[in-house]
Amino acid sequence: MKKVLVLCTGNSCRSQMAEGYLRHFAGDQAEIYSAGVEAHGVNPRAVAVMREDGIDISGHTSNLIDEYLHLPFDYVITVCDHARERCPYFPTRAQKFHYNFPDPAKATGSEEEIMEKFREVRDMIREYCRTFATTHLRS
């Protein structure tokens, strides 16, 4: 079974959404993990917008990359430039992928404007994960 690690800065939004979608699209074809170079806690807005799309990430935890150094990953996906810059030393033979998604946690404006930014990023992550799972995780 393939093992995938999704990395982000704080493991609160983008990597959490990607973990949720990759689990959904991969089914039982892969084990999916997410972590950050810091742990900021799972963002409630990320939980809310994922729930709108039928994916429950409310039970996810925010984890540090150090917790997974012992696992033999097949793929490591960085979802922000900051994580890619901070993690070039990650000791793995895994194939590495990178996509710099905008950080919805930095959105400003009214609550509805902020939530709309979360939805935009969620939709981008959903399509990336659907393609990744189809290409790399399905037998």
So where are the chain's domains?
2-137
Active-site entry in 32, 47, 76, 87: 87
CA dihedral 86, 73, 11, 139 (to 10 degrees): 130
**Closest to 115 in 3D by CA, of 124, 105, 125:** 105
Give the tokens for residue 56. Answer: 């429950």
129: annotated active-site residue = no
13: annotated active-site residue = no
Q: pLDDT-based confidence at 108, cuts 50/70/90?
A: very high
Three-state SS at 45: helix
| Residue position matching structure tokens 């950050």 | 36
Count of residues in the chain: 139
Give this prediction's pTM: 0.93
Give the fold, CATH level 3, of 2-137: Rossmann fold (3.40.50)
Percentage above 70 pLDDT, the chain: 92
**What's the pLDDT score for residue 83?**
66
87: annotated active-site residue = yes
Q: pLDDT-based confidence at 37, cuts 50/70/90?
A: confident
Three-state SS at 6: strand
